Chains A and B, each alone.
Chain A
């Protein structure tokens, strides 16, 4: 069974759906409904035996790199205007096929947003490489 990462982006991906309204414009109830939907997706995946992991990421992050010999690490705070993508979190799933992964991603993207309408968020679907090569050459 292949594993897929369903990556939720704050920004990034192809052009946004015209119905998209950022969470800052939602009411409290709309936010509550949205979060309940996320939990519901997790429960659905668990119930079907497809769940591997779910994580949310803080939007605040720091870029760190090697500073060179003997130097301290170089750090810079984000976000940056030139940064195109910012991962918000992910589901990892273990499913029968790529088609099933797409089906789940599309469902995830139908999460309710402003006025209870689907947010049509782009979900990036990335296959996870397996550890073991196939036993048959």
Chain B
């Protein structure tokens, strides 16, 4: 049984079963049982129509679970006579599954786990490894999430923002374990983009591609973080950048701006500069100004303060940062931005102090190590 079956066909079979009105938790169990049976019986010769096989077996498992002889005959007949969905229906099915797995009743962590399992087709062990928790913990998290969404009405199409947020969170998890969650998030967002004609879906896909394109340049051979302005830009993935820009332009042309499109536009401007010095900061600042109209997210405002520092000088940047200071509290990025601006203003002692404070609040070892080194570099100079 190859990965295609588990990762691609199993979620399709699940969505068909759910669309036919089956309970989500029961359908998910049935698909897992069918995969186990496939694992046992396909070793010699996989069937010609693996999806049809899985659908039939999972359908039978569902019926077995109901333990009703009469219901069994009735539903088996119904299953065997139902036609295969057309490609357009398959896209709708993906959408339906995503809405269910990202149901607003779920906490983000539960929605992430359920999405990776039911739509991404990852095993519980793979998801557990990606999040560095015991497999039993992840199994429990998924099982609770399934119980929560079971029997709930589907989220309305207007809730696509909830789905996008979950996909963005998955993307941001990066690749801590064996599974590349960023690549997985891109794969799922591509599926969503096929099924859902919303500019913000395209915007998120573009944003992911435009950031993913820089991945190889973001760390050196020792695993140390390399900041954007020091990255070897020849290592950036041009194909991903080109695709991201193409998708973004088509989305922006529809003139329904949203947060993801704007963040993607900023990423595109960075990706477009051949050297850090050629970065079009005035244009980036204009995008952040537009973003500020849409959201009062203080982290976005902090990114805007960086752009202000580049366009109007470090003192203007510092003023913009201080306006945010009370709202951001002790957010770990606040001191990192202060440090960078103080360094540009020539206040090297202050900059070192802020780098040290930022390092103490960093939430990842890579960030902490980078900030610690920055402080050391300034103290030496």
Also in contact, A52 and B171, with CB within 8 A (given A135-B212, A136-B211): no
B71-89 near A? 1/0 per residue, CB < 8 Å: 0000000000000000000
Cα A115 to Cα B89 in complex, Å, equals: 65
Cα A137 to Cα B172 in complex, Å, equals: 10
Please pick, from A94, A131, A132, A136, the residue contacting B137 in the complex, using a CB distance under 8 A. Answer: A94
Cα A2 to Cα B131 in complex, Å, equals: 10
Closest CB in chain A relative to B311 CB, distance in Å: 19
The number of residues on chain B lying at the interface, defined by a beta carbon within 8 Å of a beta carbon of chain A, is 39
A50 (CB) vs chain B CBs: closest residue: B137
User: Looking at A46, A94, A127, which has the most chain B CB atoms within 10 Å of its CB?
Assistant: A94
Also in contact, A131 and B176, with CB within 8 A (given A46-B137, A52-B133, A96-B109): yes
Interface residue? A1 (CB, 8 A): yes
Closest CB in chain A relative to B112 CB, distance in Å: 8
Cα A135 to Cα B175 in complex, Å, equals: 9
State whether B140 touches A46 (Cβ < 8 A): yes
Interface residue? B94 (CB, 8 A): no
Cα A131 to Cα B108 in complex, Å, equals: 20
State whether B171 touches A94 (Cβ < 8 A): no
State whether B131 touches A94 (Cβ < 8 A): yes
Also in contact, A136 and B140, with CB within 8 A (given A51-B134, A130-B363): no
Interface residue? A82 (CB, 8 A): no
Interface residue? A133 (CB, 8 A): yes
State whether A131 touches B218 (Cβ < 8 A): no
Interface residue? B182 (CB, 8 A): yes
Within 8 A of A (CB), among B92-135: 107-110, 113, 131-134
State whether A134 touches B140 (Cβ < 8 A): no
Within 8 A of A (CB), among B337-381: 362-368
State whether B132 touches A131 (Cβ < 8 A): yes
Interface residue? B138 (CB, 8 A): yes
Please pick, from A46, A133, A135, the residue contacting B171 in the complex, using a CB distance under 8 A. Answer: A135
B214 (CB) vs chain A CBs: closest residue: A137
Interface residue? B273 (CB, 8 A): no
Please pick, from B109, B228, B365, the residue contacting A1 in the complex, using a CB distance under 8 A. Answer: B109
Interface residue? A129 (CB, 8 A): yes
Cα A50 to Cα B211 in complex, Å, equals: 30
Taking beta carbons and an 8 Å cutoff, which residues of B are in contact with A? Answer: 107-110, 113, 131-134, 136-138, 140-142, 144, 171-176, 182, 207, 211-212, 214-215, 218, 225, 227-228, 362-368
24 A-B pairs within 8 Å (CB atoms) are namely A2-B363, A3-B132, A46-B140, A48-B144, A49-B140, A49-B144, A52-B134, A94-B132, A94-B133, A96-B108, A129-B362, A130-B176, A131-B132, A131-B364, A131-B365, A132-B175, A133-B364, A133-B366, A134-B364, A135-B171, A135-B173, A135-B215, A136-B171, A137-B211
Known: A133-B366, A135-B211; 13 extra A-B contacts, CB below 8 A, are: A51-B137, A52-B132, A94-B131, A94-B137, A96-B107, A127-B363, A129-B364, A131-B176, A132-B173, A132-B175, A135-B182, A137-B211, A137-B228
